[in-house]
């Protein structure tokens, strides 16, 4: 990354650890659009939750952050790289219990 002699139009950083966040912020300030893709529900997962609030600062600088997401594929498209991201949707346990109960009570219209 330090030897790159151009500013990419859009940089995608896979992983929300310190080094990735530093490059994300640096390239955003150089003028690139930047997206961070992190599998965990917050950045810098190994640190205390209050440290992860850095995401608000990064988003304030125009960096897109995708949490609870996994890069599942990379492909070349017209001399560019496309990243397919799958996002996990976490459902609260009470909601997951409610849905089957509601569906189980459905009856056909007469």
Helix (H) or strand (E) holding 81: strand 80-87
pTM of the predicted structure, to 2 decimals = 0.74
Q: Where are the domains of the chain?
A: 10-104
pLDDT at 98: 61
Predicted local distance difference test score (pLDDT) of residue 105: 65
User: Distance between CA 57 and CA 17 in Å, rounded?
Assistant: 15
Q: Domain 10-104 carries which CATH code?
A: 3.50.50.60
Asked whether the predicted pLDDT for residue 32 surpasses 70, the reply is yes
Is the per-residue pLDDT at 97 higher than 70?
A: no
Question: Residue 66: pLDDT band by 50, 70, 90 thresholds?
Answer: very high
The per-residue pLDDT for 81 is 84
């Amino acid at each position: 990354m330090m030897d790159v002699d151009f500013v990419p139009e859009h940089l995608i950083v896979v992983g929300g650890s310190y080094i990735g966040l530093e490059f994300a912020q640096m390239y955003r300030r150089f003028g690139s659009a930047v997206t961070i893709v992190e599998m965990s529900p917050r950045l810098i997962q190994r640190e205390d939750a209050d440290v992860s609030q850095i995401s608000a600062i990064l988003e304030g600088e125009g960096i897109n952050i995708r949490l609870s997401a996994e890069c599942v594929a990379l492909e070349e498209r017209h001399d560019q790289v496309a990243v397919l991201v799958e996002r996990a949707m976490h459902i609260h346990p009470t909601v997951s219990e409610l849905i089957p109960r509601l569906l189980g009570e459905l009856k056909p219209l007469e």
